[in-house]
Chains A and B, each alone.
Chain A
Amino acid sequence: MMDPVDNTLDQQDAMLASLQSTFMTAPFNRLVGIEFGEYHEDGGVTLCLPVEEHHQNGAGVAHGGVMLTLADAAISFGIARTVGLRCTTVEIKINYLRPVTGGVLEARSHIVRAGRRLVIARAEVNCRGKQVAEALATFAVLR
């Protein structure tokens, strides 16, 4: 007979795999080139992005929209994983701390507070061991 605990874990793994596939195959995430990084025990997620020439703006540094897209995806994934409900970004704010000329961007999300209607979460974006951006977002839980 199958162990019920293992069964539950298998189901959780399957749901997480399905969620990961949904995020990693979302058209714009693919266009930008977002890659999966790792899961964290607190519910957060790390997503990565190797910076390429097509991410640059006219000044030759990574476009702010690239960091925002990566941060939003990491936050959205973290919330979907933690809250388990469909959520949508209602507000996001990002501070740019340093220009990015190359390397791999890593966005790590943290769930600050998950309410019934709104979820507040943040993400820090690092590159080559230094923080390059900080994002704070409000997501609405869809019913």
Chain B
Amino acid sequence: MLGSDRFHRNVGVEFVEFHGDGATMRLRLRDRHLDADGTVHPGVTFTLADSALGHGISRALGRPCTTAEMKVNYLAPVSGGILTARSRIVRAGRGLVVARAAVRCGSEPVAEALATFAILR
């Protein structure tokens, strides 16, 4: 599943580790990740958080899942460095999982995500 995700590979998302309640993924920022204003495109940060959430949830539950809804608050603009996203399951139900992810650049909080995932049967 991790290796077959073409969009992650295309963007450059890397797996770091699984935790009991989530996962950590990272992304080394390059020029190709920038938006028109020279800072990281919101879609990049979103994609990294979504990947940490999706992989963390499916690993923790042992089931494939898909994003049903996700919201990201952007806390600070970044234009370089390494972004790290750490996801945590807030509540796992039978059909839906609520989870959040924190995105940092070094020690600086960059974004906070809250998502609803649907468990696939």
Question: Residues on A close to B: CB < 8 A?
Answer: 22-23, 25-32, 53-59, 62-66, 68-70, 72-73, 76, 86, 88-96, 99
CA distance A86 to B69 in the complex (A): 28
Q: What 1/0 flags go to B1-36 for Cβ under 8 Å of A?
A: 110111111110000000000000000000111111
Say whether, besides A65-B47, A92-B71, A93-B69, A72 and B42 are in contact (CB < 8 Å). Answer: yes
- With A31-B32, A32-B43, A76-B35 known, 11 other A-B pairs at CB within 8 A are A26-B41, A29-B41, A54-B9, A64-B50, A64-B67, A68-B42, A68-B46, A86-B37, A88-B77, A91-B73, A96-B68
Q: Name, among A26, A55, A58, A99, the residue most crowded by chain B CB atoms within 10 Å (CB to CB).
A: A58
A28 with B32, Cβ < 8 A, contacts A93-B70, A96-B67 known = yes
Interface residues in B63-100 (C-beta closer than 8 Å to A): 64, 66-74, 77
The reply to whether B68 and A88 form a contact with Cβ atoms under 8 Å apart is no
List 4 A-B pairs, minimum CB-CB distance, nearest first: A69-B43, A65-B47, A93-B71, A28-B41
When A23-B36, A65-B46, A69-B47 are in contact, do A59 and B6 touch as well, CB less than 8 Å? no
Question: Which residues does chain B contribute within 8 Å of A70, judged by CB atoms?
Answer: 43
- Shortest CB distance B1–A (Å): 4
Shortest Cβ gap from B102 to chain A (Å): 15
Q: Which of B8, B37, B43, B64 contacts A72 (CB 8 A)?
A: B43
**Which of A22, A23, A94 is in CB contact (< 8 Å) with B70?**
A94
Q: Are B36 and A54 in contact (CB under 8 A)?
A: no
Q: A27-B32, A59-B66 are in contact. Are A65 and B37 (CB under 8 A)?
A: no
Q: Which B residues are in CB contact (< 8 Å) with A32?
A: 43
B44 within 8 A of A: yes
Query: Contact: A68 with B43, CB < 8 Å?
Result: yes
22 contacts between A and B (CB under 8 A): A28-B44, A29-B41, A30-B32, A31-B10, A55-B6, A56-B6, A57-B5, A57-B8, A59-B66, A63-B7, A64-B47, A65-B46, A66-B7, A66-B43, A76-B36, A89-B74, A91-B71, A91-B72, A93-B72, A94-B69, A96-B66, A99-B66
Q: Mark B48-71, 1 if CB is under 8 A from A, else 0.
A: 001100100000000010111111
Instruction: Return A132 CB to nearest CB of chain B, in Å.
Output: 12
